[in-house]
Structure 1
Amino acid sequence: MGKGRVTVIDIAKAAGVSKSTVSLVLQASPLVNESTRTKVNAVMRELGYVYNRGAANLRQANARSKIIGIVVNDLTNSFFAELAVGVDTVVQSAGFVQFLSNTSESIDRQREVIASMREHGVSGLIISPARGTEATDLKPLVVAGIPVVLVVRNIPGAKVSSLVSDNHAGTFAAVEHLAALGHSRIAFVGGFPDTAVFDERLSGYRDAMSKTGTGFQDELVVSSAPSRAGGVGALARAMAMPEPPTAAVCFNDAVAFGVCDGLRARRIEPGKDFAVVGFDDVIEAKTTVPALTTISVDPQGIGQRAAQMLLKQINAGKPEAESVVSSVRLIVRESCGAAMNKLGRKMA
């Protein structure tokens, strides 16, 4: 037990009831009247108490969970499935199993699944936080001494480890490549503006647009959900501009696939009539038609590295926060039109 762990005795004292009454509330016993139940539950929330179901069931001295929790914000994005595979290859060899949960960008759902994982005595958590997650949301984990590694999205001031990609360098390279092919109307498509990842990728796009002389224009930034459907919708808005773009740097590969869908619906061929660059390099990027030019971040590699960081903290017995920014690289395939070079400019 860590120093910050709140006990049943703490709850009983704060609520002015007996330890047995708190136990009955935890068991949802009908013997407790509603007003007392409400008061005890309010105190538990205030103190950040989490019922450790594993400890309650086993009651074994020095019992240690062999469970790693993975909480992601959008499991419909294949990036996270690949990341989970990477985590599993590492934790499995270390004798751990992983519990995977999807929040669908819901803070409430995220809170529920983390609480549930804590109840089952999870040894550590790898989290890609839902939109709007703040440092205070993770404070109970820090206080309880539970190792945490944030992936994809970092949270300033959270005092936990993080592993993110070099988002600025990625979009900067994508814009430079498209500008070298002769494009000047390059859109930045997809992503939620209220996330740090969006800010970092937009910053790389903006800086590259200025450096290449194409100039940054607000109208060419078209945000949307970072999904295939979001890409379709964002492309529709971009093409409705008085002077539509001729190329797009997409927030991620899912958005890029949606942009390609939207282009084909307009009988515009991606890679021939319009250049598309994604971000992530998921498995489908290599086999889609046309094959997707993208910024490779190695999703499985990120999962492996995140798992290694987490296991290091678990084995040390004391979480020590570390921040890692992984490198990225541009993978040129067919969707950017580099092979055809229709604009008559040589590739850089």
Structure 2
Amino acid sequence: MSQSAVSLVLNNPATTRVSAARKERIISLLQQNSRLGPSGCRKSWNLGYVTDSCQDLSHPFYRHSLLGVEEGAGSNHYNLILECFRGRELHLLRKGKVDGLVVRSGPALEYLQTVPEKIPLVLLNCATPVLDCDIVMPDNRGAIFQAVSYLAARGLQRIAFLGAAPDYSRYSCNYAERWQTFPEACAYYGLDGQAELLPPAAASTAPAGAIASLVSVWLNSPRPPQAVITVNYLYARLVQAACPGLLTIAGDNNQDQDSAAENLLVLVQDVHFMGKLAVELLLRRLSDRDRPFVRISSAVNLCQRGAKISFPSSDSHRPETVKEIQ
């Protein structure tokens, strides 16, 4: 087998300058040595990681997610190429640039629904059944049951939930899954729960004023809440600013859990692990493109000042660890 024939097939698997039988043998040998992907296209040994301008990679929450993806790629001898999607196109989709994508960007996800190019991808912290892909998400349902279980164990009866209207986070069902689970968890533990969703305008431009007004209304009501669960850490800090003594549970990680106020608890996602898991799913997809698509829910732990809180779990109310979505 000549070097020139191998070179021709490597550079253009569809070439007609090499006989079909010889080309098939070359491709078979190269696939056995991991030089080509299952489709016969040359492997780039690159994976793409897509974010957007809303994510500040200097923030620990996003940085640790990236580090998890990078570690997963590197341990499997892949390079990682980062692209910040800015609303027009994804350069990583150019032919042969990457073998697959880990997408942690709602706008990029929306863009991918419109382009003809199809590439193996995994959604990280985004969830939608529109794309044929694997999904890695935090266990939002289990997280809310943890929070409500903790408050019930402390003897609290009146709990408020503060979220954002769906338009504020239309690319991710994290917020929706949390507030949809809240009334179910309150009913299970026999608690009086009330949920409030900030309208999109207030959530995106003036959350501090809107939350301060809402907390004032709560505290002056005949039956004020004894604790508040919020969808994210920002809202929790704003609730604390409006009423420092109100027990508050934040729905995602903060920058400095060790110095958080004693009555501010956090539902902590292991975003580093989730990043590594996303790469693992992507590599499995590259080696077996016909396997069923799955959504994996990663455990969330209720923590106080960085320390995990132990209490009776409600595993029977949590979603399956692995759920087929197609």
Take 1:173 and 1:284, find their aligned partners in 2: how far apart are those partners?
21
Take 1:229 and 1:287, find their aligned partners in 2: how far apart are those partners?
27
**Aligned equivalent of 1:37:** none
| One-letter code aligned to 1:205 | F
* 8 A Cα contact 1:224 1:233, kept in partner: no
Q: Secondary structure at the match of 1:259?
A: helix
* 8 A Cα contact 2:138 2:269, kept in partner: yes
Take 2:84 and 2:166, find their aligned partners in 1: how far apart are those partners?
21
Take 2:61 and 2:201, find their aligned partners in 1: how far apart are those partners?
15
1:173 to partner: Cα distance = 1.7
**Aligned equivalent of 1:198:** 175
* 8 A Cα contact 2:93 2:117, kept in partner: no
RMSD: 3.6
Aligned counterparts, 1:121-270, within 5 A: 121-130=97-106, 137-138=112-113, 140=115, 144-194=117-167, 195=170, 196-218=173-195, 220-222=196-198, 232-241=208-217, 242-243=220-221, 245-260=225-240, 262-263=241-242, 268-269=243-244
* 8 A Cα contact 1:151 1:162, kept in partner: yes
**Aligned equivalent of 2:67:** 85
Q: Secondary structure at the match of 1:159?
A: coil
Cα distance 1:82–1:190, how it changes in 2: closer, same or farther (>3 A)?
A: farther
1:206 to partner: Cα distance = 1.4
Asked whether 1:116 is paired with 2:88, we answer: no
Percent of matched pairs sharing the same residue: 24
**Aligned equivalent of 1:293:** 265
| One-letter code aligned to 1:95 | H
**Unaligned residue ranges in structure 2 (runs of 5+):** 1-39, 311-326
Query: TM-score scaled by structure 2?
Result: 0.66
Asked whether 1:311 is paired with 2:290, we answer: no
Cα distance 1:298–1:191, how it changes in 2: closer, same or farther (>3 A)?
A: farther
Take 1:89 and 1:178, find their aligned partners in 2: how far apart are those partners?
37
| One-letter code aligned to 2:82 | L
1:65 to partner: Cα distance = 2.2
Cα distance 1:67–1:292, how it changes in 2: closer, same or farther (>3 A)?
A: farther
Cα distance 1:274–1:228, how it changes in 2: closer, same or farther (>3 A)?
A: farther
From the two aligned structures, give the one with the greater strand fraction: 2
Equivalences, count? 257
Take 1:325 and 1:78, find their aligned partners in 2: how far apart are those partners?
21
Q: Secondary structure at the match of 2:146?
A: helix
**Unaligned residue ranges in structure 1 (runs of 5+):** 1-60, 104-108, 339-348
* 8 A Cα contact 1:313 1:320, kept in partner: no
Q: Secondary structure at the match of 2:166?
A: coil
Query: TM-score scaled by structure 1?
Result: 0.62
Aligned counterparts, 1:6-45, within 5 A: none
Pairing partner for 2:51 from 56, 59, 72? 72
1:102 to partner: Cα distance = 4.3
